[in-house]
Structure formats: structure tokens, C-alpha cells
Chain A
Amino acid sequence: MVDTLVIPILKILIVLNATLVAVTYMVLLERKVIAWAQSRLGPMRVGPYGILQPVADAVKLMIKEDITPTRADKWVFTAAPIISMVPALIVYAVIPFGPEVNLFGRRVTLFITDVNVGLLYIVSVASVGVYGIILAGYASNSKFPLLASLRASAQLISYEVAVTLTLVSVILMAGSLSMVSIVRAQESSHLWYAFVQPLAFGIFVIGSLAETNRAPFDMPEAEQELTGGFHTEYSGMRFALFFLAEYANMIVVSSVATTLFLGGWLRPFPSVAMLSVLDVVPSWTWFLIKSFLFLYFFIWIRATLPIANLVVTGIVKVVLL
């Protein structure tokens, strides 16, 4: 009873809360990093160096007026942010943050569950999220969101196959779909798969930028053309749920990349005995550090590169003409 219900529920609540806090501070980090990249200060007013800005944002979104446009389809309009957010959160159910640890005299695994089709579960659940975006565009009954949601589906079908094929290369190496077994396989082969499959890693990174609708692939949200994209008509808490889903997806993608290609909870260079002094750092810390670096990379890309339809058409013209 305790093992099948109480402990999973506790873990789920911890992971859910950690994700929400991570998402809100991810927003602050993004604003800060982009500000520094542009020689600005970023948020500075709320709390020292603006560290309470996420709290202020959350409260503001909570008490904001929530508008349903007259022409919108009311039920779908409300359901869309939920359909977009729930898949982004439940992916964490199979992501291993660490191996087993002893906690209060009890063996506790640092993952919520380990299903033998973990990777397939992630691929299928993660692609449900785009339905939320498409339904949002359709239910708004407004031209900009509709165009943006069509772009979102175009983007999904363009990159989904490439990303899924990179996962096949990881499965070939590990011989298993379970996320825990994939990390264990990297442990026993003494290599992170990013070094064995650099091409797959590169394609996965680029494809996941596109699948999370991040710059330089943020066509579904291109502010310059679509006045805010699929959530143009959204305000208040329903907008907040979309925002949450987007950033939760980024964290999911970086966690998946960490698990599949960067050795999950393993320390750097797991085969080098000289570095075993690094084992004093708890294994889940390595997971968090790697995921954080990946998230930082996402922000860095956004601060550096212009939007992709310009980049891609530029490259195509240079190569072909």
C-alpha cells in the first residue's frame, strides 16, 4: 500500500512543485540572460536583482481578467490549455532523476516509475501537446491564432520523424526502451551516447528546438507576423497554462536529452577512476546540472540566432543558387 500509492503520490507532488518553480524561474533566467546578452539589466525591481519577479508574475496572471471572445467555442477554448499542459507535465513520470537512494531507512527510487516502454511513452505523450495548440487556434475563431496553429502542426510534421529516428539510434545502443536501462547501459559501456552518436545528438537538439517552438523555430508564435501566435485571444490563467506548458516542455526536452545522450545521473567520464572523487556529489545533482546547461543553451540560442525562416531561406539560397 505504502509502496504502490503513498510514495508515488509524494514523488508526484514533489516533481510537480519542482517543475512549477523551475518553470517560473526559467522565465526569469531567460529574461536575465537575454538582457545580459543585450547589455541590459533585466528585471531588477521586484526583490533583490529581481528574484521575486516570478512570484509577482504568477500573482498578476492569477488576478487578471480572463476573456472568452464572443465568437469562440467556449468549451474547447477552455480545454485547449489543459490539453496542452497535462502532457507536458506527465512526461516526468518516466524520467529518472537518479538511481535508488536510502531515505529514512527505506529504499527509494529517484524516478516516479520505470515502464518498459518509457521512450515510446515520452514520444507519444509529448506529441499530444500539439493538439492543445491546434484546438486553441481553432476554438479562438480568430485569424491570427488559426494561422499560428496551422504553422504549429506544419512544424510538428516537419521535425517529428527526424527526432523519433534519432531515438532509434539510442535504442540500438542500449537495447531497451526503459529510461533507467538506457542510463544503466551508458554506465556499463562507460560512454555517454552523445559521443557515440554525435549526429543523432545534433539532430535531436535542433529538432527539439523546433518541437518546443523555440527560437529560431518560433514560427507558431512569431510576434512580428502573428501578434502573439496561437494564444493571441488568451488572457489570465488560461494564458498562464499555455506559458507553463511551453516552458515545461523545454525542461522535458532537456531532461530527455540528458537521459538519452548525456548519461542521465552519471558523473562526467564515468570510466575514469581518477575522477571518482566526483562521486561525493549526489547523482541527481549531475542530472540537474546537465539539464540546466541544456536549458541555458536554449536561451543562448534564442539570444543569438534570428528567426529560422530567414536563416533557412538564406542558407538554401547560398547553397542552391
Chain B
Amino acid sequence: MLSPYIPIAIFVVVATGFALFTLVFSGLLHPEKYNKVKLEPYECGIEPLTDARDRYSIRYYLVAMLFVIFDVETVFMFPWAVIFDKLLLFGLIEMLVFIFILVVGYYYAWQKGALEWV
């Protein structure tokens, strides 16, 4: 049952191991001559005055929330698509109803201006 997943687990271990190995290996090779200016964050030569993680408006956050809804919707469509040839017309109507409900919600969000770049 789980046997097809064993190679995937091995691959995760091998890939992570490769990444760690290269980091450690290059850590042994590369020079380390640091100074204060070199270690500053890059800001075109100007000394950064504030922390970069300032509070500012992420303008697309409503779009991001809608994305969650519609991405979950696509995941619902995956199993439906697999057995579509058994469900036939019944499955098609079911899916149309499902998408119709989503489209109504989408239209509402659109009219409310959720897709505007605020």
C-alpha cells in the first residue's frame, strides 16, 4: 500500500542531504574576511535606517483570500475528473451546480471590489 511512497521518502532524504552537503562543503572552502560594511543589508550604498520588516499594506490580500477558496475548488475537481466517465450526466450537472454557486460568490466579490488593486 505505502510501498510506492518509499522512493519519494528516500528522494527527500537524498535531496536534503545533497543541499546540506554542498553548504557544509563550500563552508570548508570559502574565505571568511568579514567587516561591518560588508555584512550590512544592501540598500544601494545607503546605511539602512529602519528595520526592513515595516508595516505596510499588502494590496492584494483580498485576492489572496479568494485564491484560497478557488484553489480548494480545483482540488475538489480532481477526484470528480477521475471518475467522470462513471458519473456521466449526473456528474456533469453536479459540477455545474457547484461551479454556479462559486460563480455567484465570485460575481458578488467582484461587484464588492475585492479584485481591485486597492
Residue positions of A touching B, CB distance < 8 A: 4-5, 8-9, 11-13, 16, 61-72, 78, 81-82, 85-86, 89-90, 92-94, 112-116, 119-121, 138, 140-144, 146, 150, 153-154, 157-158, 160-161, 164-165, 167-168, 171-172, 175-177, 227, 232-233, 236-238, 240-241
- Do B82 and A112 touch (CB < 8 A)? no
23 CB contacts below 8 A, A to B, read A8-B7, A63-B31, A65-B32, A65-B33, A66-B30, A70-B41, A72-B41, A81-B19, A82-B19, A89-B18, A112-B7, A113-B4, A141-B53, A142-B48, A144-B42, A150-B58, A160-B71, A164-B75, A172-B81, A175-B82, A175-B83, A227-B44, A241-B22
A66 with B26, Cβ < 8 A, contacts A81-B19, A165-B77 known: yes
B108 at interface, CB cutoff 8 A: no
A146 with B53, Cβ < 8 A, contacts A9-B10, A236-B26 known: yes
- Do A140 and B52 touch (CB < 8 A)? yes
Please tell me the size bucket of the interface on B.
35 or more
- Do B70 and A69 touch (CB < 8 A)? no
* Contacting residues, chain B, for A93 (C-beta < 8 A): 7-8, 11
Q: Restricting to B36-74, which residues have a CB under 8 Å from any CB of A?
A: 36, 38-44, 48, 51-53, 58, 60, 63-64, 67, 70-71, 74
**Complex Cα spacing A222 to B74, Å:** 30
Partner of B78, one of A5, A69, A144, A171: A171
A-B pair number, CB within 8 angstroms: 171
Residue positions of B touching A, CB distance < 8 A: 3-8, 10-12, 14-16, 18-20, 22-23, 25-27, 29-34, 36, 38-44, 48, 51-53, 58, 60, 63-64, 67, 70-71, 74-75, 77-78, 81-85
* Contacting residues, chain A, for B23 (C-beta < 8 A): 78, 82, 237-238, 241
